[in-house]
Amino acid sequence: MKVAILQFPGTNCEYDTQHAFETLGAETEIIWHKSDAIAEDTTLLVVAGGFSYGDYLRSGAIAKFSPVMKAVNEYAKNGGKVLGICNGFQVLTEVGLLPGALKRNDGLHFISKHHHLKVANSDNTFLQKLNTDDVVNIPIAHHDGNYFIDEAGLQELETNNQVLLRYTDAEGNIQNPNGSVDSIAGVCNKEKNVFGLMPHPERAMETLLGSDDGVNMLKGFIES
Amino acid sequence: MTAIVNISLKAGVLDSQGKAVHHALDSLHFSNVQDVRVGKQIVLQLDSDDKTQAMADVTKMCEEILANTVIEDYTIELI
């Protein structure tokens, strides 16, 4: 198991992400954005959270033109597993590897707190360690997490089981913190090898820090 | 030549910032405002005098990076 973690200027979750995956026994490598290759033995490529390029223009917009993104695109097109967390999710939508876009939160505030999420679909490798309708408690920390997709796009996501996570309360009832369409917290692509989510499962690895619900998510991310 | 690009959220995409500004105007008793949309303006200095070429170039810039056409519309003005 080898996890490659992308690092742009402004990325700030790469070391947390590295620590979390190493705790689970994975080998990790941090890849600077000027690199032009992804190692062939990579089992998971993570676009980590933070504020790539200072969030200038739009969150994730400038990262699209980083030298490493060409290799990321090829890796994904060849079926490689790609995970985007928070700013990584924003980058993946900007690049077009995931559908939709992330807008400013409806309440206009930066939200940083634990939030419950319900698994909408577990028939994919990412959430293979969880069951559909499971509720997990994972931190969110974002300003632009308001997922938008048009009506036709939403229909397509539903049809293909591409909505993987929704914001809920502890009982699994919809509770939408940021205005996301259909309370969506995470989506995957049609081929189910690219997954983006706003919450931070890598920050939910120990009960001492509030929750260890991220462990089973991360285990699923690194298994094929 | 100068190109002025105005970018705003598409009609039908909720503009929370516009809504907040509208509320603020309301509370200041500017009651004659029907709707507020907040956008951004990007001003580009171009080293070209060919308007047709400039329009084609700036349109390409908008499509590729300046706007996210999933949620945003743009207009281009050349001066």
pLDDT value at position A1? 87
Query: Which of these CATH numbers, 3.30.1280.10, 3.40.50.620, 3.40.470.10, 3.40.630.10, describes B2-78?
Result: 3.30.1280.10
Among left, alpha and beta (phi > 0; psi -120 to 50; other), residue A75 is alpha
Name the nearest CA neighbour of A204 among A137, A109, A104, A131: A137
pLDDT value at position A224? 78
Q: Report percent pLDDT > 90 for chain A.
A: 97
Domain spans of chain A? 2-222
Using a CB-CB cut-off of 8 Å, the residues of chain B touching A57 are: 65-66
Does residue B76 have a pLDDT over 90? yes
Residue range A52-63, pLDDT digits in tens: 999 999 999 999
Give dist(CA B58, CA B3) in Å, integer: 8
pTM of the model: 0.93
**Beta carbons of B14 and A106 less than 8 Å apart:** yes
Alpha-carbon distances, residue A11 vs A28, A193, B29 (angstroms): 16, 23, 43
What is the average pLDDT across B3-23? 94
pLDDT value at position A184? 98
What spatial distance separates the first Cα and last Cα of chain B, rounded to whole Å?
Answer: 6
Active-site residue numbers of A?
A: 86, 200, 202
May I ask the CATH architecture of the domain A2-222? 3-Layer(aba) Sandwich (3.40)
Residue B77: DSSP 8-state: E
pLDDT value at position A34? 95
- Rounded to the nearest angstrom, the minimum Cα separation between B33 and chain A is 21
Residue of chain A whose Cα is closest to the Cα of B68: A94
Give dist(CA A174, CA A57) in Å, integer: 32
Tokens of B26: 């309301």
pLDDT value at position A171? 97
Residue range A101-137, pLDDT digits in tens: 999 999 999 999 999 999 999 999 999 999 999 999 9
Give dist(CA B40, CA A117) in Å, integer: 33
Domain spans of chain B? 2-78
Q: Which residues of chain A carry a pLDDT beneath 70?
A: none
Mean pLDDT over the full length of chain B: 95
Using a CB-CB cut-off of 8 Å, the residues of chain A touching B70 are: 93, 100-101, 148-149
Q: Is A58 on the interface with B (CB under 8 A)?
A: yes
Q: Report percent pLDDT > 90 for chain B.
A: 94
User: ipTM beyond 0.90?
Assistant: no
Please, are residues A111 and A148 in contact by the beta-carbon 8 Å criterion? no
Does residue B12 have a pLDDT over 90? no
User: Residue A148 is nearest to which of B13, B17, B20, comparing CB atoms?
Assistant: B13
pLDDT value at position B64? 94
**Beta carbons of A103 and B70 less than 8 Å apart:** no
pLDDT value at position B48? 86
Q: Name the residue type at position A26.
A: A
